[in-house]
Structure 1
């Protein structure tokens, strides 16, 4: 992406102060980078996804880098919410592409693959094993 430093918007933590997600904005690239942490479940994914909605009116982003490389856990129960609540709002807000960095955790990967299969008919989305390759792809979107 651009050489400009991203702005850290928020470091979301659980009730015990453990990191759940960090949100960075690259204004010149219209990019929101979400780096997830820890064991994810449906509640965490929904809470974290709702957080991005809070910035859509305040700052422009049309691309999302969804980095789950530092996570585990099965969050499949969030899939209906993501499909029927998050996706229409994201499309309406102008999100046109998502680069998705896989987790090494097997359960997390299954949930991620289901999510991608649901989203792919509606926006450009690709899977990656590392952030640098994901960012390079997003540059072309």
Structure 2
């Protein structure tokens, strides 16, 4: 639902804005778009400029002109967890990030986890120029 997406977006923006992505862990069998290797290569060491929404897509803007779009579909979740916590059920992607004011510590051991029980949700990496084509504007 749109109100839920807005709430998640607002909360994530407060937590992730100006952090740097340090690691990505993509579960075997899950495919980000366009593919896992490209996704990982383009997001590692990138600053998160901000988190906003386009319709029901959560948009994570990176400092290199790329954006991560997350669509939760019916069963997807984005969760902030401590790294040392066991993997969440149905976890597909874990993103470890670092606050710029603490370069030696990965945000006190927290990560963003994308979980989806039915695999209807998706994580897509797009350049800014391709955003409107993807969401049908």
Same fold by TM-score greater than 0.5: no
Q: Which has the higher strand share?
A: 2
TM-score (norm 1): 0.29
Q: Which has the higher helix share?
A: 1
TM-score (norm 2): 0.30
